Amino acid sequence: MSERVKARILGDDYTIVGDTDPEYIHRLAELVDRKIRELQLGMPNAPKLKLAVLAALNFADELEQSKNKTDESGPSSPEAEEKTKKLITLLEEGLIGDL
């Protein structure tokens, strides 16, 4: 059953719908908020959308680097792949739905 979770990212409220633990969604939102705020320190006048896109690129880079390490060390677990897919879906639904 999908749950609706309220999260605040860079001062804006988002309602994120997901089939996972609400605490997990909150942790993801906090991670996204920290990354965007980190980027904002270097670009204080950048629009929020630009910061969100740059944060997404940072996360995508981290994911690709993680995949490359996994490819070198063997196949990743199905659980890790499922969590990654859920993260991407939550980001897409949360960010695209509220822009």
Q: What is the secondary structure of 21-51 as a DSSP string?
A: -HHHHHHHHHHHHHHHHHHHHH-TTS-HHHH
Q: Which helix (H) or strand (E) holds 75?
A: none
More confident residue, 69 or 31: 31
Do 3 and 10 touch, CB atoms closer than 8 A? no
Average pLDDT estimate for 3-24: 92
pLDDT recorded at residue 67: 84
Locus of tokens 């390490």 = 69
Q: What is the pTM of this model?
A: 0.68
pLDDT recorded at residue 73: 57
Q: Which helix (H) or strand (E) holds 79?
A: helix 78-98
